[in-house]
A and B are shown apart, each in its own frame.
Chain A
Amino acid sequence: MSSAAKRDKIKTLILFLSPAAVLYSVFFLFPMAQAFYIALFRWSGMSPNREFIGFANFKKLLGFEMSGGATVPTDPMFWKALLHNFEFMIISLVVVIPLALFIGSVLSRKVWGSGTYRALYLFPNMISVVAVAVLWSFVYHPQFGVLNVLVEGVGLKPPLNGWLGEPKTALFCMIATSIWYGLGFYIVLLLAGIQSIPSSYYEAASIDGAGSWQQFKNITIPLVWDILKLAIVYLIINTINIFGLVYVMTDAHPTEHTHTLLTYLYQKAFSESDFGYATAIGVMVFVLIFSISLVSLRLMKREAVEM
């Protein structure tokens, strides 16, 4: 290619890429850079006045102090919220991914009614998260909730403070709801991957005497590995970013037992008018998602098998 033609090609590339690059910079990169910048200020979000305080917000967020002879975090709520996000993440990973893989493999077989089941599993995901949260609040309702009826039916006592008011149960009730809500999406995601595996592979394997488990382990898993990785990272991001469900179901009360990073961020920004600090939490959420995604992708690095 002559240098003039090359230059022309670069020009065209720039021309075609620039609208997207401009939009991306204006609506994504610039706000993100601004967030990093705002996190360095004490700012109520009520006026243009803000005071530069360097890394003080981060110091308070991540720091420790001596109190009553013990070392305690300067902001215990941040760590509690973080722990709740991890609980969301670990339980979701342990339950959703194996279950989605299992149901996905079952539905990929041409069994009777698999089409209907596919729709049924995806159905919760089509409802707005607010509606799901309201719906499940009724399930957990301390007076007329279905769960109370079931629990009492088997001779057990529902928690005195209600499922969503009891510190021991509130978080797990919300995790269960989020699993119910999200499962269908992961089933469909993995199902698409499983269905793209030619059936001849399975036929050959069964001729060679491989059982269902061996076929699953040696054919299905390696061939959907890329999609599985995507599903895991996506689930991690979703569980760190969880907000709407918690906000509607408990409004993060009792706070010490149900706050997540984003509900805490919201409280700091909008209830306590501490936008600088809230933005610092936002920056930490970004760092967290970025690093966990990176680490998990690295851990799951394994040659994908070409079909």
Chain B
Amino acid sequence: MRKIIVIIAILCALALVGCSNKSGSSKNADGKIVLEVASFQGGFGLDFFEYAAREYEKLHPNIKINLWGNPRVWEQLRPRFVRGDVPDLTWPGWDMDVWSMVVEGQVLEMDKYLETKAYGSDLAWKDTFYPSLLDKGKYNGHYYIMPFNNNIFGWWYNVDMFKKHGWTPPKTYEELLVLCEKIKKTDIAPMTFQGKYPAYMLQGFFYPFAISAGGLQGYYDAENLKPGAWKSPAFLKAAEMIAELRDKGYFQKGAMGMSHTESQMEFVLGRAAMIPCGTWLGSEMKKQLPPDFHMEYFNAPVLKDGVGDPTVVLCGVETWIIPKAAKHPDEAADFFKFMTSLEMAKKFVVQKNTLMSIKGSDEVDLPPTLVAPAKYMNEATTTYGTDYGDWYRTMGKAMEEAIASLLNGRSTPQQCVDRMEKAADDCRKDKSIPKHKAG
């Protein structure tokens, strides 16, 4: 009997310890402010952020930074946000719905910090970012979500294969059709894609084609849920272009069933000549890349007589936030400002093989795969993104389903855009979904 009571008591004690074991940040024994920084641990790892933390501590001896992270950090962060025990600064990773957090008032407004002077510069911190990338994090006229590295999304081609056959990357859709016909005559598939994840095909084919056919404003109208925008003539034209590529057999057989890595492997192995992907392609396939493999980025081909600006590039940023309930928001903002200083940003570009959202950070000895994307970025009049997918997640999924059904031959172009319009319509009519503004 006594034994049972002892066991129950121990269990209760353990449960209480478990409940009270908060990993929160505060002051430690020697009076230092302890900042908790939680980061997604993806292809970039955590080492750079660790390095930045140690450098920052040297500049600010009264601060100690506890940095932690893992590849599924959002799973740990979600329940912590629900119970209000949050880190001071976080990159919560791609599966965290940061926009819901913004809308629900969980994220700190950054406006006052952005007006302060940037590290190592006379400019205001705000002015060190590419404006269109910083604006991605705006809601109701205020800044909430901060950009860090910048992923540019476009097409890639196999340089040696193109050289060997005397092909050149197509600038226009018309050139693309001619090129694909030539490639098809060899045993190589002109194009492959990440069929299991239809977002790649929206970003790789559909939006660039639609913007070329109808201009960027037409795309913003669609993001802003303007009635009829998703089935506009430009969007229908884009769907027809994809259907033409499909029907002419320019996509690799079986691509619809391939994951991102499987299709990228097909490209690396030289069984497909081109693939749409972001600038992370090089680092994602690093281990599989043969040493003599050369690939290069180019913007998706545009219509010869298209009305859209051919220089615009599709960008996505990795997002950092400071939770509103952070214990040390000022220090967290200052540390993030340090991480995004030009000096640190340049180091990140070189060490981690990615571009950054900081102007001038590409003025370094760039890795070969980033030279072309950086050039396109600097020549672009503006950038655009697929932010609607983060704002309206259910609608975003519906768009993916629509493009998948076009690519697998279940939908005609008209049916595809009708489905998209219906999804936008459902989103527009749902008053419970807070609306955002693009453009």
Give me the interface of A with B, judged by CB distance under 8 Å: 15, 19, 42, 44-49, 140-143, 158-167, 170, 250-251, 253-256, 267, 270-274
Contacts and interface: CB of A to CB of B under 8 A. Distances in A.
A165 B255 contact: yes
Contacts of B262: 141
B257 A166 contact: yes
Most chain B C-beta atoms within 10 Å of own C-beta, residue among A165, A166, A170: A165
19 contacts: A46-B78, A46-B100, A46-B104, A46-B106, A47-B101, A47-B104, A159-B254, A161-B254, A161-B256, A161-B408, A165-B408, A166-B408, A250-B196, A251-B197, A251-B259, A253-B404, A254-B256, A254-B408, A271-B95
B401 A46 contact: no
Given A15-B4, A46-B101, A270 B95 contact: yes
A82 to B, nearest CB: 17
B95 A253 contact: no
Interface stretch (B80-88, B149-157, B373-381): B80-88
Contacts of A271: 95, 393, 397
B256 A255 contact: no
Contacts of A48: 82-84
A165 B257 CA distance: 4
Contacts of A170: 257
A255 B401 contact: yes
A165 B262 CA distance: 13
Given A46-B78, A47-B81, A273-B100, A167 B106 contact: no
A274 B271 contact: no
Given A19-B8, A46-B82, A271-B397, A142 B97 contact: no
Given A42-B432, A48-B83, A272-B393, A162 B258 contact: yes
Nearest to A148: B254
Contact of A44 (B95, B97, B254, B407): B97
Interface string B225-259: 00000000000000000000000000001111111
Contacts of A166: 256-257, 408
A267 B8 CA distance: 39
B405 interface: yes
B266 interface: yes
Contacts of B95: 270-271
B364 to A, nearest CB: 36
B195 interface: yes
B325 to A, nearest CB: 10
Nearest to B15: A26
Interface of B: 1, 4, 8, 78, 81-84, 95-97, 100-101, 104-106, 195-198, 253-259, 262, 266, 271, 393-394, 397, 400-401, 404-405, 407-410, 432
Contacts of A255: 397, 400-401, 404
A256 B401 CA distance: 8
A162 B257 CA distance: 5
Contacts of B84: 48
A253 B198 contact: yes
Contacts of B393: 271-273
Given A19-B4, A253-B198, A46 B97 contact: yes
Query: Most chain-B CB neighbours within 10 Å: which of A19, A141, A143, A256?
Result: A143
A77 B409 CA distance: 19
Nearest to B189: A143
9 shortest interchain CB distances as A-B pairs: A142-B254, A162-B257, A165-B257, A165-B256, A162-B254, A161-B256, A164-B257, A273-B97, A272-B393
Contacts of B271: 143
Contacts of A47: 81-82, 100-101, 104-106
A141 B195 CA distance: 13
Q: Which of B78, B397, B408 has the most CB of A within 10 A?
A: B408
B197 A272 contact: no
B196 A143 contact: no
A158 B257 CA distance: 12
A249 B105 CA distance: 37
B401 A254 contact: yes
Most A Cβ at <10 Å: residue of B8, B100, B253: B253
Given A46-B104, A166-B256, 11 more contacts: A19-B4, A46-B96, A142-B255, A159-B254, A161-B257, A161-B407, A162-B255, A164-B257, A250-B257, A255-B401, A273-B97
A223 B287 CA distance: 58
Contacts of B397: 255, 267, 271-272
Contacts of A159: 254
Contacts of A251: 196-197, 259
Nearest to A277: B394
Given A48-B84, A251-B197, A142 B257 contact: yes
Nearest to A51: B432
A166 B410 CA distance: 10
A270 to B, nearest CB: 6
A44 B105 CA distance: 13
Nearest to B392: A272
Highest count of chain B CB atoms <10 Å: which of A19, A142, A256, A267: A142
A162 B106 contact: no
Nearest to B410: A167
A211 B405 CA distance: 54
Given A142-B253, A162-B257, A253-B404, A46 B81 contact: yes
A15 B95 CA distance: 46
Contacts of A142: 253-255, 257-258
Nearest to A160: B253
A44 B257 contact: no
A276 to B, nearest CB: 11
A135 to B, nearest CB: 15
